[in-house]
Amino acid sequence: MGSTTTIPAIDPPAPAPSADGPPARVSLVEELGQRLSQEIMEGALLPGVRLEEAGLAERFGVSRTPVREALNYLAATGLVQKRPNRGVVVTTISRSRLQQMFEAMAELEACASRLAALRMGARERDSLRRLHEGSVDLVEAGDYRGYDAFNRVFHEQVYEGCHNGEILDLARAMRRRVAPFRRAQFQVPGRLVASFAEHAQVVAAILVGDADGAAAAMRAHLRLVGGASARVLHGIEPAEAERLGAARLDIEALESDSAAR
């Protein structure tokens, strides 16, 4: 790959926390995909750079098979493109497409949250509450990697709580496409605290069966996620992010609101 930044060896994957049962393990392919997506979003792998299987396998200390599968995953998300005679290259995503992807994700998750507020059983609600409350330790520690793993589990529980297989499949598929861009949000200062507070609003509405409130809270959360991600990926200033539907974050207010809940 020429003069691109050397990619460090893979650390042991961070387990995703769970309110019930042992933590889930992240597969090697997922870990490779996450590492490559991070390199792309941080600018270590620039648009147009060719990603060669052999070179990546040597850098990561793995065989070419998981590298190939990770590149296929990244191609499905749009982070990389497969081009004739060039192989796999890093692509860019337009601001408009990124906005559309998060808009679609927001509506799917709002729908899932609405139904979850109506259909979750007592044990499911308690599990979601305990999962959310447990994430405060990650926020206080500034553990972005651990919080990212938690975040996947949190949203998955909301999807499952809607008890609609079609919505569940659609939400999961859309999340897989958005995941690499969604992860960029945590590079924005104060985003962990903000995310925790936004989750608190979603959980509070679901716990009392407020379907409209749950949908509105989740939709607002995804707008903020999209805006934060756009700030990182496109260098959008806070005022512009606000125009796109991601209001400027008042961290102290969010912390106070979270504490009040």
The domain at 1-92 falls in which architecture? Orthogonal Bundle (1.10)
Of 214 and 10, which is predicted with more confidence?
Answer: 214
pTM of this prediction? 0.68
Q: Residue 90's beta-bridge partner residues?
A: 80
Domain layout of the chain by residue ranges: 1-92, 95-260
Helix (H) or strand (E) holding 89: strand 87-90
CATH 1.20.120.530 fits 95-260, yes or no: yes
What value does the mean pLDDT take over residues 61-79? 91
Give the pLDDT band of residue 132 (cuts 50, 70, 90).
Answer: very high
* C-alpha span between 134 and 37 (Å, rounded): 27
List of residues 6+ apart from 80 with CB closer than 8 A: 40, 51, 71, 74, 88, 89, 90, 91
Q: Considering only CA atoms, which of 7, 182, 209, 29 is closest in space to residue 119?
A: 209
Name the residue with tokens 């979603």: 202
- ∠ CA 236-242-244, rounded to 5°: 75
- Encode pLDDT of 7-54 as tens digits: 333 333 344 444 444 444 458 999 999 899 878 866 678 767 899 999
